[in-house]
Amino acid sequence: MKKQFHIKINDEDSTIIDINSDESISFDIYHPATKFNKDDCSEFGPFYKIDGLRWKNKEHFHLSWAEKKLKLNDKISFQYIEGDLETTPLKKEEKYIELELTCSFCDKKASETQQLIDGGLLARICNECVQVCQCEIDKDNLKHKDMSTNEDQITHIILIGDSIFDNAEYVNKGDSVIEQLQTNIPINCKATLLAVDGDVINDVYAQLEMIPKVTTHAFLSIGGNDALRIVNVLQQASSTVGEAMEIFTGIRLDFQKRYRELITQIKLKIDKLIICTIHDSVPDIEPRALTALSIFNEIILKEAFSIGVAVIDLRLLCNEKEDYSTISPIEPSGQGARKIVEQIVKITKEHDFNCAIPHVYK
Ligand SMILES: [Zn+2]
């Protein structure tokens, strides 16, 4: 007694297949897609097929018992039974030659490549394609690495303007703005001091001549000495407050014109520009001098905001007596310099220079 499949169409004789341990059997009812066969759809009707595979040693054979087109109202019955009937002879038995595996990328056959790596399901890749892929990955990695190294290496900060940055003479060795900056910036970052103690707006143009070729960030502190030069105006006689205001109007317009021209010129050379206001917490400063100073700071802020440049507000940052040098109270002390350096480092690291909204650091 053997286990058998009995397959019968209408009243025809059954196709009887023995179930053997070295054979796989498949019974298919198939209807092809007719949409793509415009000529004669009748050729592409449904059919049924009984076929299988037999393993013999290390080879295998394709077996076929039946293949027939189906007609309308055909009725198929299927039985799995134990019986001892004569089985249907094979219609076809041929050695099955497995198609040679190919690389899913370049289509090369396994025999044409040194190695074919199986990726599961239907994907495979040859050793040559692996190399091509690795090359692409390396190129991409190198590009990213280059970009990051370049960015680190070309960070070059310049300090331009006056003694807010050039304050070495008024502090202990190592405490000046440039010295503290150089010890606090990352290894691949450079900082150069171009600012000169005592310089006014018009002097900064000479500093711009010395800008290093690869400069990425410019910090500007200027206007304090321009403001100092008008101190004698405070002693000037005037008959009315209005007349005094007239004098300040002239000063204001002149400062605005020169300041605007300067920052426009700097911005043309260095896109990443940060400017400082003039500090006003100088110990023992005359209150009326502070009133006059506010005119200058108002212009600095307005010009900075109008071109979208961020500002270090030294009025709010250096607001303690200890922030000023004991040698000259209008210069930053070691502590004042440290506060300024902290902001410069922070801005260089974090400031979004593409952001159109002006930012005040304090
Ligand atoms: Zn390949």
Same domain, 27 and 141: no
Distance 125 CA to ligand 1 centre (A): 5
Same domain, residue pair 269 and 297: yes
Same domain, 193 and 280: yes
CA distances from 287 to 9, 225, 319 (A): 113, 18, 15
Residues 62 and 17 reside in one and the same domain: yes
Give the count of domains, the chain. Answer: 3
- Higher-confidence residue of 86 and 143: namely 86
354 and 263 co-located in one domain: yes
Q: Is the pLDDT of residue 149 over 70?
A: no
- Closest Cα to residue 351, out of 256, 219, 223? 219
Q: Which of 90, 121, 149 is the last residue of a domain?
A: 149
Same domain, 309 and 331: yes
Clarify whether residues 268 and 347 are in a common domain: yes
- Both tokens of 337, joined, read 């310099």
Work out the percent of the chain whose per-residue pLDDT is above 70.
95
Res 311: pLDDT: 95
Give the distance (Å) from ligand 1 centre to CA of residue 107. Answer: 6
How far apart, in whole angstroms, are the C-alpha atoms of residue 181 and residue 157? Answer: 10
pLDDT of res. 244? 86
Q: How far away, in angstroms, is 205 Cα from ligand 1 center?
A: 62
143 and 210 together in one domain = no
Mean pLDDT of all residues belonging to the chain: 88
Q: Of the ranges 37-46, 96-105, 297-306, 346-355, which one carries the lowest mean pLDDT score? A: 37-46
In which band, very low, low, confident or very high, does the pLDDT at 258 lie, cut at 50, 70 and 90?
Answer: very high
Look up the CATH number of the domain holding residue 344: 3.40.50.1110
Using the mean position of ligand 1's atoms as its centre, give its distance from the Cα of residue 140 in Å: 20
Q: Cα(97) to centroid of ligand 1, in Å?
A: 23
User: What distance in angstroms lies between residue 138's CA and the mean position of ligand 1's atoms?
Assistant: 18
**CA 98 to ligand 1 centroid distance, Å:** 20
Ligand 1: distance of its center to the CA of 344 in Å?
A: 53
Q: Dig out the tokens for 25 from the structure.
A: 């059997």
For residue 96, the one-letter residue type is Y
The answer on 297 and 336 residing in a single domain is yes
Give the Å distances, CA to CA, from 103 to 121, 142, 261.
13, 28, 66
Domain final residue pick, 149, 175, 190: 149
3-state secondary structure of 283: coil
Q: How many helices (H) and strands (E) does the chain have?
A: 8, 15
Top pLDDT among 165 and 37 is at: 165
Among 30-39, 145-154, 256-265, 281-290, the least confident range: 145-154
Report which of residues 211 and 233 the model is more confident about: 211
Q: How far is the CA of 120 from the centre of ligand 1 (A)?
A: 15
Element (H, E) at 276: strand 272-276
Q: pLDDT tens digits, residue range 3-56?
A: 999 999 999 999 999 999 888 999 999 888 877 666 655 567 888 999 998 888
pLDDT at 355: 81
Ligand 1 center to 290 CA (angstroms): 77
Using the mean position of ligand 1's atoms as its centre, give its distance from the Cα of residue 37 in Å. Answer: 34
Same domain, 268 and 214: yes
What is the pLDDT, as a whole number, of residue 41? 54
At residue 150, the pLDDT reads 53
What's the CA gap between 333 and 325, in Å, rounded?
4
118: pLDDT strictly greater than 80: yes
**CB-side exposure of 314: number of CA atoms within 13 Å?**
34
How close is the Cα of 115 to the center of ligand 1, in Å?
Answer: 9
**How big is the CA angle at 314 (ends 313 and 316), to the nearest 5 degrees?**
75
For residue 41, the CA-to-ligand 1 centroid distance in Å is: 39
Q: pTM surpassing 0.85?
A: no
Cα torsion angle, 305, 343, 222, 330, sign: positive
Question: Which pLDDT band, with edges at 50, 70 and 90, does 224 fall under?
Answer: very high
Domain of 126, in residue numbers: 100-149
Is there a single domain that holds both residue 69 and residue 123?
Answer: no
Same-domain check for residues 187 and 47: no
d(CA 126, ligand 1 centre) in Å: 4
